[in-house]
Amino acid sequence: MKKFTILLFLFTALLISNECVGQKTNTDKKYTFKSGDDNGIGKWYMGREIAYVMGFEGIGWLERSEREKEENVSNLIQNMKIKFNDTIADIGAGSGYHVFKMAPLANKGLVYAVDIQGEMLMAIEKTKEFSKIRNVETILGSEKSVHLPKNSIDKILMVDVYHEFNFPLEMIASMKNALKPNGQLFLIEYRAEDLKVPIKKIHKMTEKQAVKEMEAAGFKLKRNIDNLPWQHCMVFVKKTKSIIN
């Protein structure tokens, strides 16, 4: 009898263990883990390896004087057709390079500067104080959420940051929740199709890959505006149906 009880206990423990493993597999099945690029984190999503996040130590590169010439940021801002009363979210705002170009155009609206690094947000706050621009609000995001109110955003901007998201599907779901029904998401990524773009491969994306990932998160490509020297300017809008609630 004692032997039978021990065997029953072991069998039950094995069932529970297998159930837990199965639950973990179901939870994590959208991501895979394997070695890859030296600049990648070894985590893959839909066939793409996720890149390391650029730390706040790279602020100098974000604010480099050559950036306008290399990326034609003025064209990007024009592409967004910002209205005076727009509510805009810059996700992965970094030092606020784009934030402080958009804020004067949306002078009766609001620009959220969202980043997961407090040091970046501190830099934005200093610039905000110095420039006396009042319609900028900093938000400390997380790896899975932008922490923005539901149906509150007219335009979302992501510049060379999406490919670094540790949880891209969850992040886009969070943005979809924050975006108004008729809102637009501007995804800016270095063109992987163009070998002449002098950026490491893992920090680039093809239009095909971007569309695949965004469609999985409930968005469809409205237009890819081809007027930037190095980057895609892909405009996405919500689909009526998606695999995400």
In a structure prediction context, what are the per-residue pLDDT tens digits for the chain, which is 245 residues long? 444 444 444 444 444 444 343 333 344 589 999 999 999 999 999 999 999 998 888 898 899 999 999 999 999 999 999 999 999 999 999 999 999 999 999 999 999 999 999 999 999 999 999 999 999 999 999 999 999 999 999 999 999 999 999 999 999 999 999 999 999 999 999 999 999 999 999 999 999 999 999 999 999 999 999 999 999 999 999 997 644 44
At residue 129, what is the residue type?
E
Architecture of the domain delimited by 55-238: 3-Layer(aba) Sandwich (3.40)
Q: What is the pLDDT of residue 28?
A: 57
Distances (CA, A) of 172 to 6, 27, 36, 125: 49, 17, 24, 26
Interaxial angle between packed helices 168-178 and 207-216, expressed in degrees from 0 to 180 and rounded to the nearest 10: 70
Q: What is the pLDDT of residue 160?
A: 97
Q: What is the pTM of this model?
A: 0.86
